[in-house]
Chains A and B, each alone.
Chain A
Amino acid sequence: MKTTTIKYILLFVAQAALWNYFNFTQYLLLVFLPVMILCLPTARGPVYLMAVAFVTGLAMDFLVTGQLGLTSLALVPVALLRRPIIQLVFGSELFARGEDLSFHRQGWRKFMLSVLLVTAVFLLVFLWADSAGTRPLWFNALKFALSLVASSAVGVFVAYLMLAESGERWK
């Protein structure tokens, strides 16, 4: 089994454990699933990524949230928008040269921006669907802001973990 796949599965388990056992506050949702999708090999097309995102979300819902479809609903748009986000932040040369993302080559600032963007997409859909029109806007806005800051900080670390090997290759 490839290292990326193993890392992906391990991070998935970590995310499930985090959601199951660490409920800090109702204003915070710590999530790094979007970063896991972001860090998958660039050679993979959007259809493959969306399928992976859908299955990942479904498994997460089955194991943790109990609301089948909720995480998939939010994670599939991340997979769809991954390519435009990478092109926007890192430039389209990556795809032209067939290179994967590298934490060392691209630098943490760019990674921070891309992690922010994918996390924001995920949180927007997830919080909107999760509240189902029952929570006030200020609550959702506050939860979105806090979760975005915290999840992005964690997300950069997760990206570092996922891309550590490819980074070594480019040193």
Chain B
Amino acid sequence: MTTVTERPAASPAPSAESRRDRRRRERIEEQDAAIPVELYGLKRGTVPVLTACCVLFAVFTLVPVAWIIFNATKTQANIFGTFGFWFARPFEFFHNFRMLFENVDDDGTYIQWFGNTALYAVLGGGGATALAAFAGYGFAMFRFRGSKVLFYIIIGSLLVPIGAITLPLYLVYAKAHLINSIWGLILPSMVAPVGVYLMRTYIGLSVPRELVDAARIDGAGEARIFFKIALPLMVPGLMTVLLLSVVGVWNNYFLPLIIFSDNNKFPLTVGMGLWSQHATTSGDQNLYPLIVMGGLVTIAPLIILFLILQRYWRSGMLLGSIAN
């Protein structure tokens, strides 16, 4: 009775299906779910006009991205002197990229900031996801004294704006000697009330109570039930929370701006902000190409991450937070 009955591994998706097959299946499912356009009785030309609207907005969306790609290949003179939406000679992409590894004007090294950001995002985002998974599971599966009140307090804290909590954090850090400590950024990043909320909703819908109770009767410990039974069922929800938390840390600017005075601890956002400030005040010849290239290298990983993890992305979960 000390072993849990072996259950078939709860894999989130059958892996036999290839990427292309899955894409095709999803597209067909989507088409099946939609009502055929002909039935709406549209005037002729409506579909092309609407598609054209989409193209226009897509152009608007891609203009800054295109600009940053073209200009990452240019010298400072060409960034300002040539047409913004095409290449120019000399082609300086690799030179600009190499500069990211150098310490310019003692502001700090881009590559160091990149590493910092990745570290903060992994620890902060991962920690936020783990804490949200535990707490969401606790709130979804157990009822204990004060659990409702605690949950409402956590939801209520969603109203507390980042802009209003950041300075208080700084004041506490000044007392607790956490200024310039990377933990001063990572630990508060782990507090994601919205993640707790999303995980509670998701677990309530996707982890059957009967399954958990059955495992208990078989004598499985709570930790074992969580890791072996519940966790595999939570994966899609966890991915959504992880993406949201990682993006949150990757984007964070205000808190690291005020708690770090040591340039070697900056995340990308603060480093780039510093460069942009110095580019205008010091008139340095090299900073603008660096800012453009740095911007490109900053946004590329997240866009790629999103495209890869798209199938895990549960926009329905964001909606779940709204339905209540």
Chains A and B come from one and the same complex: no
Interface residues of A (CB under 8 A from B): none
Interface residues of B (CB under 8 A from A): none
